[in-house]
Amino acid sequence: MLDLQPSKKEKSMKKAKSEQDDWLRPGYKRSDFGELVRGKYAKRIQKSTNVIVLDPQVAKVFPNDEAVNNALRGLIKVTRSEGRPGTKSKRRLNDKRRAA
């Protein structure tokens, strides 16, 4: 009768990793791939992304990025409707000086 039970070596379906897997195959040469450049695309990625790091105390106030954006949009709207910040107080001060 045949033994149908696999041995301990046959139980695992995973292939054993060999040191040869870590090296290039014999048909390829390192020179085939050109010169390696560290950070080759770093400037392109930096231009296309805009990451802002919030102070931990500020980050606690906002649950997500949408909340931060909404707050900033509201602030922009308020400052635009009032004109340039600080100009009204200077005008009032100048009017008071002229009246005196």
- Greatest mean pLDDT among 30-34, 62-66, 86-90: 62-66
> Which are the contacts of 14, defined by CB distance < 8 A and separation ≥ 6?
none
Q: Return the amino acid letter for 53.
A: V
Q: In angstroms, rounded to a whole number, what is the distance separating the alpha carbons of residues 3 and 6?
A: 8
* pLDDT beyond 90 at 86: no
* Whole-number pLDDT of residue 49: 82
| Mean pLDDT along residues 6-32 | 65
For residue 2, how many other CB atoms are within 10 A of its CB? 4
Question: For the chain, which residues make up each domain, given as ranges?
Answer: 39-100
* pTM for this entry: 0.38
Could you tell me if 70 and 77 are in contact, meaning their C-beta atoms sit under 8 angstroms apart?
no
* Cα–Cα distance measured from residue 89 to residue 26, given in angstroms and rounded to the nearest whole number: 77
* Residue 88 confidence class, pLDDT cut points 50, 70, 90: low
Q: Which of 72, 28, 80 is nearest to 50 (CA)?
A: 72
> Is a pLDDT exceeding 90 seen at residue 58?
yes
Average pLDDT over residues 52-79: 93
